Amino acid sequence: MEINDVKFVLPSSLHNLTLIRALAKTYFESQNIEKGDVMKLLSVIDELATNVVEHGYRYETGEMTIFLKKIGNTVYLSIEDNGHGYDEKKSSKEEGGMGLFIVKGMVDEFNVEKKETGTKFNVSKEVKEAK
């Protein structure tokens, strides 16, 4: 079974979301992933990276690490920051926090690792091969 992975580290900024999306799209296409699955994975990355900028660093300067790995027909994705941390109490619908709820519905596995400083989101999704 072939394993392919990539890691990139970028400043957390809304301006970098386009770059993150382009890098991830290039990786997914190089892995011959079906277009519908690529779009779902890009939506997941958009939401999680936006969370890092808005909630992890509260629009302050920081760094995010994005790791993508494909093993067989499963893509593993993690986005990590060293920001303020994830507060489950503040991720409620009243605050407009539907993003993570939607992400959970688009992936097969979703978990959040709370670190001493920061947060690491881990997701996995089974994908189809492009025809």
CATH code of 13's domain: 3.30.565.10
Three-class SS state of 126: strand
Separation between Cα atoms, residue 82 and residue 94, nearest integer Å: 26
Residue 92 placed within a domain = yes
User: With the C-alpha atoms ordered 83, 25, 14, 111, is the resulting torsion angle positive or negative?
Assistant: negative
d(CA 17, CA 45): 9
Q: How many domains does the chain have?
A: 1
Q: What are phi and psi of 86, to 5 degrees?
A: -100, 125
Domain extent, residue 16, equals 5-126
Residue 25 domain-assigned? Answer: yes
Query: Can you give the pLDDT of all 131 residues of the chain as single tens digits?
Result: 566 899 999 999 999 999 999 999 999 999 999 999 999 999 999 999 999 999 999 999 899 999 999 999 999 999 999 998 876 666 544 454 678 899 999 999 999 999 888 999 999 999 999 98
The confidence score (pLDDT) of residue 97 equals 65
In a domain, 71, yes or no: yes
Would 131 be classed as within a structural domain?
Answer: no
pLDDT value of residue 96: 47
Among 83, 23, 20, which Cα is nearest to 54's?
A: 83
User: What type of residue sits at position 43?
Assistant: S
Q: What is the pTM of this model?
A: 0.89
Residue 115 lies in a domain: yes
